[in-house]
Structure 1
Amino acid sequence: MRRARMAMICAATVSSVALVACGSTGGGTDVNTDPDRPFVLDGVTNVTQITQLTGPDSGVNDTASVAVAGTDLGSMFNVGDTTYLVFGDTFGTRDPDAVGGQGGNWRSNAVAYTTDEDPSDGLTFDGWLLDDIGLALEVVPGEHDHNDAGGEVTKIPTYGFAVGETLYLQYMSVRHWGEPGQWDANHAGLARSTDGGASWETLPAPQWPGDSNFVQVSVAEVTEDGEDFLYFWSIPSGRFGGVQLMKVPATTEAVEDLSAYRYFAGTDDDGDPRWSESMADAQTVLEGTIGELSVVHSPTLDRWLMTYSTDGDAVLAEGITPWGPWSEPHVLTTQAETPGLYSPYLNPRYVSDDGLTIYFTLSIWGPYNVFWYSAELVPAPA
């Protein structure tokens, strides 16, 4: 039954997604706007922690040599054969019993990269973006003001993407860390590298207000009528908002021009999306208390997959179109099972050939490091 179901899905995919081979997962796909197709997943199973990617207990990477004793997040984006992993607040030294973001040699962010093609045993890093003395570089420098100073505590990259050979990181400028899952932002903006990540420039524009719904994002490349766009699924600062959607043409000129962005403003009578120049017109595409999110397209399923945290648990939802409808969340792991979890991030490169095994990063607050997980997707009955 499972093979028959997947054969049906794969056959449908060949006709509707022209840019990606069946059995792989990736962005750059034509957008299917038909909202009346059924959900094809029944849940997830066999969620497995494979290894720790960062920190002194990593099973695959020596991160001490670049002064990474503790870090979090680990969102991913691909450039050619290279996958970049983008981390948040990073510490070079930590007490053995330390919990959460604390320690010495604090950098607001760090970036590793890998060409590892086998995710089944973890991701082995090829290296890190390094500073002049060979330690993990703070690619987007934060001001490191005191938490109650009203300035900028840190700059946290929420996702990366590339346009040609230009790399971008979308970051949030954090003004204040509050209660668990709550923080205030000054703004969200972009940093740019034109030399393969060796050096970075924090751009003065575009910027999104810190109280807007466009502070934390997940980015994917899509094609509309032969034109490439970048879609940004976006949430406010913290972990208690819903998801909105914006897009921009996939050119460096457009990406760096706030007026080029368009905001999803609902659908017309035919079910086609309406896009507005005004952020005020943005409609919520998924309600909930949604934390750090990651969205990829599965060409094998011809559906969108979104991972995020909600009520403290890590979950996965299936989307029929980029703006929904979205399924009820399927639980990956809970706070009871994995205390201190947050930030489940997918990558379209790390999916099994049949599309039914996904791999993702997950942060755990206690050791304050990033772990590598797998999960099996359960197809709905035919």
Structure 2
Amino acid sequence: MTVTADGNQLIVVNDGAGWAPPPATFYSTRLWTIEGGPQGAEMAQLEGYPVFDRAALPENAPSYYGHGVLAVGNHLYQFLATLDDAEDRPRHWTGAKLIHSPDGGATWLNRDGSSPVIWEGWDEQAGAGFPFLNEENGAFSLLSFLQQGPAYSQNRDGYIYVYGLNGSVDGLMNQLVMFRVKKDSMLSRDAYRFFAGRDEDGTARWSCDIADRQPVHTFPRGWVNYTNLFPGDLVVESWLPSVVWNEALGIYMMTSAGIGNAEDGTEFGKPSYLGVWVSENPWGPWRQVHEDTAWTPDGDAGARAYAPQIAPGWIAPDGKSFWMVWADLAGLRAFGRDGDLVDAEMAKAKDATERTMIEAAILRRYMPNFAMNAQRIDLVLD
């Protein structure tokens, strides 16, 4: 989520139909606008956003999943993650494509300024659209921007800060890495400077060489799936954080979650891990202020919550409370157990477009909370 200059928010819908009424198409990336507060919000699709239509592509074409989005002035930037095409499973995250809009979302461009936005095939992904591709173990394939006020207006040092995961396996995915770049150089990969550790006085070191990267924080191990509930599926994006500047309190706040796995290593077999951290600097060190090793919103033991986000536009003026939003995949394993019934229903589709509509309807039936849930968090100050 990000806040635009008019004070409204944008939210990325990843793997879902968003708030579109049935029949709805299933998107792997889509931007929606949010007007109003958490208890009276109105959502609408962002007109002009490029449509990634899975139904129009070959079955083995690359997928693109929307992740980090940032408003800087009237400019919007977004990273989209892509997966490998290896036959071994689970699949792993392998790269990040950057797209941008110079006019608040009305038109969208590839990183090199060309339009329309293209969805590269496997043999085209090595082009200029990808700041990160096939880095060691998939580092920086999943990315999240630091949020600092409407249109980044609360930033004071002139840098954009971007957080990523150090790989796609446990032991690396739980390592948080980062880079920074001058606000006017976001489109230039050569301008990225990677966090390379801290001096004794806590000053951050930055390097132009990605090989010099060091973790800015390490989350607990044991919360990354290593096999899949569904054949041919992927490593779920555990630990991708949400980091927001709290202007009133003068602190950076971070929330992140790890996926609760079943004993066989499949995803969402038990409740997730939830943590909240604070820091005086974007690069830490990070002090944990909340830990929940069985995250069950509203006391629901069946919850399978994930992807917590600090809504940057819903922080109280005094900074002492904020709203956190997340999705919930409770019902996913029942969806998997009923695979034959699901396949039979999907087989009724007359074409690929109708297939995505049936898919969206099935997911809404099995996973009614696979949506935007919200909760107010009150901070207890030291």
Distance in structure 1 (CA, Å) of the matches to 2:155 and 2:68: 26
Distance in structure 2 (CA, Å) of the matches to 1:177 and 1:105: 27
Of 246, 249, 267, the residue aligned with 1:301 is 249
Of Structure 1 and Structure 2, the greater helix share is in 2
CA shift at 1:325, angstroms? 1.8
Unaligned segments of structure 1, at least 5 residues: 1-74, 97-102, 132-136
Distance in structure 1 (CA, Å) of the matches to 2:139 and 2:309: 19
**Cα gap change, 1:93/1:115 in structure 2, threshold over 3 Å: closer, same or farther?**
closer
Whether 1:341 aligns to 2:305 is: yes
**Cα gap change, 1:350/1:179 in structure 2, threshold over 3 Å: closer, same or farther?**
farther
**Cα gap change, 1:303/1:176 in structure 2, threshold over 3 Å: closer, same or farther?**
farther
Q: List aligned pairs for 1:219-368, cutoff 5 A.
A: 219-220=145-146, 221=148, 227-235=157-165, 236-237=167-168, 240-251=173-184, 254-288=185-219, 289=221, 290-310=238-258, 311=260, 312-328=272-288, 330-331=290-291, 334-335=295-296, 337=301, 339-365=303-329, 366-367=367-368, 368=370
**Cα gap change, 1:92/1:122 in structure 2, threshold over 3 Å: closer, same or farther?**
closer
- 1:369 corresponds to: 371
- 1:87 corresponds to: 13
**Cα gap change, 1:110/1:272 in structure 2, threshold over 3 Å: closer, same or farther?**
same
CA shift at 1:243, angstroms? 0.6
Any conservation in 2 of the 1:76–1:345 contact (CA below 8 Å)? no
Instruction: Report the TM-score, using the length of structure 1 for normalisation.
Output: 0.65
Structure 1 vs Structure 2: percent identity of aligned residues? 22
**Cα gap change, 1:194/1:224 in structure 2, threshold over 3 Å: closer, same or farther?**
closer
The secondary structure found in structure 2 opposite 1:107 is coil
The secondary structure found in structure 2 opposite 1:259 is helix
- 1:124 corresponds to: 42
The secondary structure found in structure 2 opposite 1:322 is coil
Q: List aligned pairs for 1:45-64, cutoff 5 A.
A: none
CA shift at 1:306, angstroms? 0.5
Give the CA RMSD over aligned residues.
3.4
1:100-119 CA-partner distances (Å, limit 9, x unpaired): xxx97332222111331x33
Distance in structure 2 (CA, Å) of the matches to 1:280 and 1:260: 15
Of Structure 1 and Structure 2, the greater strand share is in 1
- 1:184 corresponds to: 92
**Cα gap change, 1:295/1:93 in structure 2, threshold over 3 Å: closer, same or farther?**
closer
- 2:79 corresponds to: 170
The secondary structure found in structure 2 opposite 1:342 is strand
Any conservation in 2 of the 1:265–1:274 contact (CA below 8 Å)? yes
Unaligned segments of structure 2, at least 5 residues: 112-127, 222-237, 261-271, 330-366
Question: One-letter code of the match for 1:201?
Answer: L
1:177-221 CA-partner distances (Å, limit 9, x unpaired): 9999x6512310211123432332343334212433312222125
Question: One-letter code of the match for 1:161?
Answer: L
The secondary structure found in structure 2 opposite 1:157 is strand
